[in-house]
Amino acid sequence: MFKFAVVLFFAILATSTCKRDKCLEGGTHKHRPSPELDMHECTLYSESSCCYANFTEQLAHSPVIQVSNSYWNRCGNLSKSCEDYMKKIECFYRCSPHAAHWINPNYTAGIEFVPLCQNFCDDWYEACKNDATCIHNWLTDWEWDENGENHCKNECIPYNKVYANGTDMCQSMWGDSFKVSESSCLCLQMNEKDAVAIKYLTSESSEESSSVSSSEERACRLLGGLRYNKF
């Protein structure tokens, strides 16, 4: 009987951790997240990371010129402020152990509708307002050469001529990868506050019992508290 209980316990433990311990498929992603002690960037995910520490080397020197086969400087070097946001997005996609919660069922190396906070998108838009780009959708609008490297098809124009505002930018730069959340708490902003939001966002869909509004309330209260205590 005791033996059975132990087996059952580990079976439950295994299924519950298994579900969470997952990375997006393909590309540079590990099979499972694990700690990375020597991250150069993306340190938000050091404790549990879907990228190897060596991946982050290419993000460590500003201006970032190239990440894997993608050139970031096709319309000139990014400003430091704009680059910081690009890095946050790159780090989330490559390294976050939670990204797979929003895995795109049609394309398992990709994500869909990850809820971003409105203020994060607005700040990002502001940070890039003096930068230029030649694409609207980073996933579909490049011309890719035989080496898998990206080139502009169109001329470089300022971000604010390409995107109307932060919402438009967040919801179109990476196709369907991101959406702007209606909630100001149950959303990600790619910083340490995400830990609280993630906790409620990822339990919401598996626990039918807790309604969205009550988990939003709890997340908001906790984040409010965090602001007073820590920030």
Ligand X SMILES: *[C@@H]1O[C@H](CO)[C@@H](O)[C@H](O)[C@H]1NC(C)=O
34, 160, 167, 184: which one binds ligand X (CB under 6 A):
167
Diameter over CA atoms, the chain:
71
**8 A C-beta contact, residue 31 and residue 42:** no
Coil vs helix vs strand at 67:
strand
Q: How would you class 38 by CB atoms within 10 Å of its CB: exposed for 0-12, middle for 13-18, buried for 19 or more?
A: exposed
Answer yes or no whether residue 126 interacts with ligand X by CB under 6 A.
no
21, 84, 168, 204: which one binds ligand X (CB under 6 A):
168
Answer yes or no whether residue 106 interacts with ligand X by CB under 6 A.
yes
64-92: string of b/e by CB count within 10 Å (b at 16+)?
beebeeeebebbeebeeebbebbbbbbbb
Answer yes or no whether residue 52 interacts with ligand X by CB under 6 A.
yes
Shortest distance, CB of residue 169 to ligand X, whole angstroms?
Answer: 9
31/127 Cα distance (integer angstroms): 34
Q: Which stretch binds ligand X (CB under 6 A): 93-101, 126-134, 163-171, 199-207?
A: 163-171
Answer yes or no whether residue 46 interacts with ligand X by CB under 6 A.
no
Of 5 and 37, nearer to ligand X (C-beta) is: 37
Q: How far is CA 36 from the centre of its chain?
A: 18
Shortest distance, CB of residue 114 to ligand X, whole angstroms?
Answer: 12
Q: Which of residues 57-76 bind ligand X (CB under 6 A)?
A: 63, 76
Answer yes or no whether residue 138 interacts with ligand X by CB under 6 A.
no
State the residues that interact with ligand X by CB under 6 A: 52, 54, 63, 76-77, 104, 106, 112, 164-165, 167-168, 176
